[in-house]
Amino acid sequence: MRPIEKKQHGEVVQYTDSRGNVIEHVVQADYDKYGEAKLPLVGNIGRYCSYCEGLREVDALEVEHCAARRNGGSETAWNNFLLSCKVCNMVKSVSDFGEDIHWPHLNNTYLDFVYDETGRVKVNPVLSGLSATRARNLYNLVRLGRDDQDASPMDYRWRRRYETWKKAVDAKAKYEAGKWSVDDILSKAKDTGHWSVWFTVFAGIDAILSRLISDFSGTCASCFDADNHYQPIPRNPENTDDPICFFLVTNNNFCLQKIKI
């Protein structure tokens, strides 16, 4: 799951309104209505679901409350907002995990899950202790494990992720054959979404990884080590909860697993 860097209140985000005007917006600590934060969130982190990472039209995105309102989460505080597609928001449970959960704007959630060629997502099997618990709670919260076997017809997430994997593999072949440029790859990735799938498929190709981090608005750049092939690194070094991992790059360069060192 792409780790994101939310703007803090008082910082400026730029977004395009429904009339096509570019708006400079100062992020507020609180909004009168939470819907008013949607376009600023889009300006900050792009038109991507914070959980399944799919690209959506603005109308198909919802302002999502991390801590559910019925569990006492703030309805209007910017700090409690993410963007969600309708499916992730619908299936999201209202379980109150308190602090026993990771969030993409607070932790390096790229360390939490592994993505594979079947389109499925699994909790990173090398996690243990608190990290494993918190990653699994996030996984269960939005039912990231649903696949073709158990998703309802309305739950398009697995299928779209699976299709994205195939697109990313095809794009990589074209890139390695010299047919596609870095810009071509980024254009395709941004038009498809599922950032973690692209980042996984292109593991080992620094030129693409750096652009996936820089070109997807709001990606947490400090979550990846630019001096070491963009290995994911703990977001909260003072908090040992975030594990230290590195990529396992196989012969075909797919990152199948992240291993604790």
Applying CB under 5 A, which residues contact Zn ion?
Answer: 49, 51-52, 85, 88
Question: Toward Zn ion, which CB reaches closer, 102 or 211?
Answer: 102
Q: Which residues contact 156 (CB under 8 A, 6 or more apart)?
A: 54, 87
What's the burial of 19, exposed, middle or buried (CB within 10 Å: 0-12/13-18/19+)?
A: exposed
At residue 29, what is the residue type? Answer: A
Nearest approach, Cβ of residue 213 and Zn ion (Å): 21
Question: Toward Zn ion, which CB reaches closer, 88 or 245?
Answer: 88
3-class SS of residue 241: coil
Nearest approach, Cβ of residue 121 and Zn ion (Å): 12
Question: Toward Zn ion, which CB reaches closer, 88 or 121?
Answer: 88
Question: Toward Zn ion, which CB reaches closer, 110 or 175?
Answer: 110
Which CA distances in Å does 183 have to 167, 190, 209, 219, 247?
15, 10, 12, 18, 24
- Any bridge partners for residue 225, and if so which? 231
Q: How far apart are CA 155 and CA 159, in angstroms?
A: 9
Nearest approach, Cβ of residue 159 and Zn ion (Å): 13
Q: What are the backbone dihedrals phi and psi of residue 66, each rounded to the nearest 5 degrees, phi first? A: -60, -60
Question: Toward Zn ion, which CB reaches closer, 40 or 104?
Answer: 104
Question: Toward Zn ion, which CB reaches closer, 52 or 186?
Answer: 52
Question: Toward Zn ion, which CB reaches closer, 110 or 254?
Answer: 110
Helices marked H in the chain: 38-45, 86-91, 129-141, 157-176, 182-192, 195-201, 206-215
Nearest approach, Cβ of residue 107 and Zn ion (Å): 18
Task: Provide the pairing of β-strand 22-26 with 224-225.
Answer: unpaired
Q: How far apart are CA 135 and CA 139, in angstroms?
A: 6
